[in-house]
Amino acid sequence: MRLRLRRGWILSVLPAVLWAPQLGAQEDLRQIHSERSQYRQVLVYENKDLRCLCFTRMCMIGRQSCADRHAADRLVFEYARMMLGALFLRPDPHDVLIIGLGGGTLAHTMEKLLPQAQIDVVEIDPAVLRVAQQYFSFQPDDRVHVTIEDGRAYVRRMLRGNKRYQLIMLDAYERQYIPEHMLTREFLTEVRSLLTSDGIVAANTFSSSRLYQNESVTYRAVFGPFYNLKSNNRVIMAANGPLPSLDEVSRNSRAFSEAFRPFGLTPDSVLTLFSTREDWDPKARVLTDQYSPANLLNSRGF
């Protein structure tokens, strides 16, 4: 096991979802863990079916990660199933970067789907890593490496070396949304530079937010056309180079019919969400390090 612990910037990199399956009636919930980390309260609740990592009491706002207590491999969250669609663009990545750990769902799933891949996970909060190990059966090993560091700091550090990734999965969240320094044109340009020439990025975002227009034009400005998968969450899939055609994506998806089965999904259920339709205002302002989401959210009329 290679576990690299480094402290980075002050903003968190934790996955979150706009919507999650109901844990059940409040009286059915049982808190089994609570601790105050450097960044937030980290809690774990469960009922007879699910165990969830949360940042609010009784998990009343979006859960960070949930696991099925009776089927450990099943992907509870729809966004996690959507993120696997990145494999339809690049079916055999050997070097994968996941920014945001949560309960370790994506790392666990990718390790099983890609037996030849090396997977680097970046997580800012060591408390989240401890909870993932203790309550969600996540264990770093010879193929899954965890670094405790801010995601953007990690990307910049890797750019100074020769490391490049064939697949980068952005699943970084604070309590409310993606950290603002991971939404800007400058950050996404750094991410693109960290990809191989045929590399793919998949980003978990919200399908409805006050940043939707700006976020969309920012990805478009850096990557050009991208696939926009929308349901309760939105997943953006872009390429460092020509975007694979929908025909190619469809052909690649067929290879995962059996591999996806243990995770409770079929390739078609993801494939039907692929779209390149631009459903945003192309004149919206691009997000930059100087023009950030915080500026927008505090602006009158936004």
Cα radius of gyration (the chain): 18
The pLDDT of residue 185:
98
pLDDT at 7 over 80: no
Q: How confident is the model at residue 302 (pLDDT cuts 50, 70, 90)?
A: very low
pLDDT at 16 over 70: no
170 within 8 A of 199, measured Cβ to Cβ: no
If phi over 0 gives left and psi between -120 and 50 gives alpha, with beta otherwise, what is residue 301? Answer: left
Q: What are phi and psi of 72, to 5 degrees?
A: -60, -30
The least confident of 3-12, 90-99, 265-274 is 3-12
The pLDDT of residue 13:
41
Q: Which residues of 20-48 are buried (b: 16+ CB within 10 A; e: fewer)?
A: beebeeeeebeeeeeeebebbebbbbbbe
Residues 6+ apart with CB under 8 A from 130: none
**Please, what are the domains in the chain?**
13-68 (no CATH), 78-297 (3.40.50.150)
Catalytic (active site) residue 171: yes
Distance CA 103, CA 105 (A): 6
The pLDDT of residue 126:
95
199 within 8 A of 164, measured Cβ to Cβ: yes
pTM: 0.90
DSSP string of the chain, one letter each residue = --EEE----SS------S-------GGG-EEEEEEE-SSSEEEEEE-SSEEEEESSGGG-S--SEEEESS-TTS--SHHHHHHTTHHHHSS--SEEEEE--TTSHHHHHHHHH-TT-EEEEEES-HHHHHHHHHHS-----SSEEEEES-HHHHHHHHHTTT--EEEEEE----SSSS-GGGSSHHHHHHHHHHEEEEEEEEEEEESS-TTHHHHHHHHHHHHSS-EEEESSEEEEEEESSSPPPHHHHHHHHGGGTTTTGGGT--HHHHHTT------S-TTSPPP-SSS-HHHHHTSTT-
Give the residue from 153, 165, 182, 177 showing the smallest Cα distance to 240. Answer: 165
State the sign of the Cα–Cα–Cα–Cα dihedral 259, 262, 266, 270: negative
- Over residues 213-235, the mean pLDDT reads 96
Q: What are phi and psi of 116, to 5 degrees?
A: -100, -5
- Selecting among 171, 247, 268, 281, the annotated active-site residue is 171
The pLDDT of residue 62:
60
pLDDT one-digit tens code per residue, 241-293: 999 999 999 999 999 999 999 999 999 999 999 999 999 999 999 999 999 87
pLDDT at 3 over 90: no
Q: How confident is the model at residue 220 (pLDDT cuts 50, 70, 90)?
A: very high
Query: What Cα–Cα distance (Å) separates residue 124 from each residue in 46, 107, 139, 148, 292?
Result: 24, 16, 17, 5, 21
